[in-house]
Homo-oligomer: A and B are copies of this chain.
Amino acid sequence: MNTGDAAFAALPAPPYWAVAFSSRRADGDAAAYDEAATRMVELARKQPGFLGVESARGADGFGITVSYWTSEAAIAAWRAHAEHAAVRATGRTVWYTHFELRVARVERAYGGGQAH
């Protein structure tokens, strides 16, 4: 669905896969973090099986990013990507006080709002 709002991922009908990444940013290193985050989204978009990504982070530093993929294999390949793996290591040790990642199979989806 294309809402004209680029924050929403335009996804096909389910089933597809989702990676929900919740994180708390550590203080500091904002410029390097922002640059890496932007780069990772650019890189993810080029991966086979990438469908879309949505992301939100509040002023308290807690954020949720959900990326969408055609298959578990596509997620595994992105996970194994060398540059992505290197950036994740920095995330674990520098950028996040804590994170949780959940891999899920999307079974149903629907949307709405004033734009409809």
Contact = CB atoms under 8 A, between A and B. Distances in A.
Contact of A56 (B57, B108, B113): B57
Q: Which of A55, A72, A96, A111 has the most chain B CB atoms inside 10 A of its CB?
A: A111
A107 B54 CA distance: 20
A93 interface: yes
Interface in A97-116: 97-116
- The dominant DSSP class at the A interface is strand
A3 interface: yes
Given A112-B92, A114-B26, A100 B14 contact: no
Contact of A8 (B5, B22, B108, B112): B22
A74 to B, nearest CB: 14
A60 interface: yes
A1 B112 contact: no
7 contacts: A1-B100, A20-B20, A64-B65, A98-B115, A99-B111, A99-B113, A102-B109
